[in-house]
A and B are shown apart, each in its own frame.
Chain A
Amino acid sequence: MSVVAEQVERTETQTGWDASAVRRDFPTLHQQVNGAPLAYLDNAATAQKPQAVIEAVGHYYRRDNANVHRGAHLLAERATAAYETAREKARRFVNARSAHEIIFLRGTTEAINLVASGLGSRFRPGDEVVLTRMEHHANIVPWQLLSGRCGILIRVLPVTPEGDLELDELESLFNERTRLLAVTHVSNVLGTVNPVKDIVRIARQYDVPVLVDGAQAVPHLRVDVQALDCDFYCFSGHKMFGPTGIGVLYGKEDLLDSLPPYQGGGEMIRRVSFEKTDFADLPHRFEAGTPNIAGAVGLGAAIDYLQGLDLTAAAQYEQRLLESAKGRLGEVPGLRILGEARHKVAVVSFVMEDVHAHDLGTVLDHKGIAVRTGHHCAMPLMDFYGVPATTRASMAFYNTPQEIDRLVEGLHYAREILT
């Protein structure tokens, strides 16, 4: 056993976290890939699903399937109850004041698009939106579409070489035309955890509302939207061990209430004639059409699953994995880690001298190790670091020190054959 493996094993005892027990909850983890056991280190792309989530979705379709909020029959009642129970679970998960503030959508991308479309209807040419250099394309492109449509300007908060936001420059970006700050809670490339609470406090002084992209935060951090005091918070189910195609937009009730409808259709209305439509109240006004009921049920099951774990121990364990990974990766010749922020989740991006990330990805896959390679939908950040692509290992509480050992061995091997 390697030194690191021993260290982390000791940590497991210290933190009381038993990764091997948790792994048993995740069926996909137990398979061979290219003749080796799967080491799934691509959790920031999407996390694997525990049996409880898979079962909840199956159970819903086997027993309760019906449309929600309509129909006088028992199955419709059950489906509606299941869907609204999931909403209440999501409310508690982020500590929103009211379940009306929880909108079910396809995911973070749709949530940001909804806000961009809603706020955008009020924007005037010359209005400004502040973004940061480390945003995912999902938190850049919707605003850019607006700038094309209604002439708003996009201002960008820079990033330090260590991978933190240049917070000292934030105030200089605000002025009387600033209509919104949209910032990621956790960088999907660097793993940096941004001080969202401080950022919101600064923005408040300028009356600038804040949207937070929480897609990468919810699998790792406890999120309390009231404590953060942000105006919007968006996240996806599939990155937090739930199904794909379901996500949440949290918004403060008065703000959500002030937004025009996003899509029109059934479910979002109170009364329709050809002359006029009265729209439904929150949250249904933003959920036109039959929603992803099974997805919401699965997300609810993922929340239940997470809340049944010792999340403090899980977070400590992940931090130990991160420290080990950083240390071990640092030993690989020619390897450079991007982003050394002090506060990070267990995500490490790196480049290897003379080896392209794509080739690394293929060689690692041959050893059963799944990582992400490419620009990670964050091309402005790639440009900042002057690299076309990186390799990213992103960990969850079910990953093990042995998997990090294998990643490092795989990288040595790749270097051997490719350089």
Chain B
Amino acid sequence: MSSGLEDLYQELILDHSRHPHNFRAMEGASRTIEGYNPLCGDELKLYLRLEGKRIADVSFQGKGCAISTASASMLTDRLKGLSVREAEELFEAVHELLTGGHSGPDPDALGELEALAGVRKYPMRVKCATLSWHALKAALSDEQPESVTTE
């Protein structure tokens, strides 16, 4: 694979996109939200079950490209057991990672999610990777909208 593409389509990303984790609807979710990327038509539904201020379970369903599917799959893996506050901090760190802000997060803190950094070289693909994260942020917000788009 040519360089750049290798960073984008790492084996870890491809594994998650071929076999996404927590890819299921959830009965009795406390929050559900639809995320939509009007640029490419990707859509996903994110389900959260909260116990108090803690995320007890998280799952998703939807149709999307390898990047958006892998990103959502990794999100669900990572989110289980976090407090709402920790999830919000994670959103900030991932957003920083994907959009390449100046004060980049501590790579160790992100673990597997670091694999998503390959999109930074692909401005057209950043929104694929951020879709599920924007859905998460909206689901945790006080307004709790029913849907969110990347535009």
- Which of B14, B63, B122, B124 is A418 in contact with, Cβ under 8 Å? B14
Q: Are B39 and A374 in contact (CB under 8 A)?
A: yes
With A356-B64, A388-B63, A418-B66 given, is the CB distance from A363 to B41 under 8 Å? no
**Per-residue contact bits, chain B 1-18, to A (CB 8 Å; 1 contact, 0 not):** 110110011000010001
Q: Are A359 and B4 in contact (CB under 8 A)?
A: no
Q: Which A-chain residue is minimally distant from B5 (CB atoms)?
A: A366
Q: Which A-chain residue is minimally distant from B39 (CB atoms)?
A: A374
Whether, in the assembled complex, A41 has its beta carbon less than 8 Å from a beta carbon of chain B, the answer is no
Within 8 A of B (CB), among A336-366: 354-359, 362-363, 366
Whether, in the assembled complex, B43 has its beta carbon less than 8 Å from a beta carbon of chain A, the answer is yes
Main secondary structure of the interface of B (DSSP, over half): mixed
Q: Are A362 and B8 in contact (CB under 8 A)?
A: yes
Whether, in the assembled complex, A200 has its beta carbon less than 8 Å from a beta carbon of chain B, the answer is no
Q: Are B122 and A362 in contact (CB under 8 A)?
A: yes
Bound Cα distance from A357 to B37, whole angstroms: 14
Residues of A within 8 A of B64 (CB): 356, 388
Q: Are B40 and A374 in contact (CB under 8 A)?
A: yes
Within 8 A of B (CB), among A363-418: 363, 366, 373-375, 379, 382, 388-389, 417-418
Bound Cα distance from A235 to B5, whole angstroms: 38
Residues of A within 8 A of B65 (CB): 356-359
- Which of A354, A358, A417 is B42 in contact with, Cβ under 8 Å? A358
Residues of B within 8 A of A358 (CB): 40, 42, 65, 67, 125, 128
Q: In angstroms, how far is the closest chain B Cβ from the Cβ of A221?
A: 29
Residues of B within 8 A of A375 (CB): 40-41
With A358-B128, A388-B41, A389-B40 given, is the CB distance from A417 to B66 under 8 Å? no
Q: Which of A356, A366, A375 has the most CB of B within 10 A?
A: A356
A-B contact pairs, 20 of them (CB 8 A): A34-B2, A355-B66, A356-B42, A358-B40, A358-B65, A358-B128, A359-B9, A359-B66, A359-B67, A362-B122, A363-B5, A374-B40, A375-B40, A382-B41, A388-B40, A388-B41, A388-B64, A389-B40, A389-B41, A418-B14
